[in-house]
């Protein structure tokens, strides 16, 4: 790099790869599709949070009303 010889592990550590992660076989490393899929899933989950919260609050209110009856 820039005319200097460097070990690949040192180069990867510059990009915050832990030494054990840097030693992972290349075939086991993600090509970015897993990250993109997880990001899409996280965005979809975040979009559902307001509805899930409202449903949970409704269930809690019903449960508390039922517990007051007994």
Q: What is the pLDDT of residues 17-48, one digit of tens each?
A: 777 777 777 666 666 566 666 777 777 777 87
How many domains in the chain?
Answer: 1
Alpha helices in the chain (DSSP H): 8-13, 19-22, 33-69
How high is the pLDDT of residue 13?
74
Residue 22 lies in a domain: yes
Residue 1 has pLDDT above 60, yes or no: no
Residue 3 lies in a domain: no
d(CA 45, CA 17): 28
d(CA 58, CA 64): 10
Q: Contact, 19 vs 13, CB < 8 A? A: yes
Its domain, for residue 63, covers 8-69
- The token pair at 40 is 């899409």
Residue 1 lies in a domain: no
Residue 40 lies in a domain: yes
Residue 55 has pLDDT above 70, yes or no: yes
pTM, two decimal places: 0.36
d(CA 22, CA 19): 5
């Amino acid at each position: 790099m820039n005319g200097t010889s460097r070990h690949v592990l040192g180069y990867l550590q510059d990009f915050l790869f832990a030494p054990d992660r840097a030693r992972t076989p290349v075939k086991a490393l993600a090509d970015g599709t897993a990250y993109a899929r997880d990001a899409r899933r996280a965005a979809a989950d975040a979009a559902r949070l307001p509805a899930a919260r409202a449903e949970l609050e409704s269930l809690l209110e019903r449960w508390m009303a039922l517990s007051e009856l007994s």
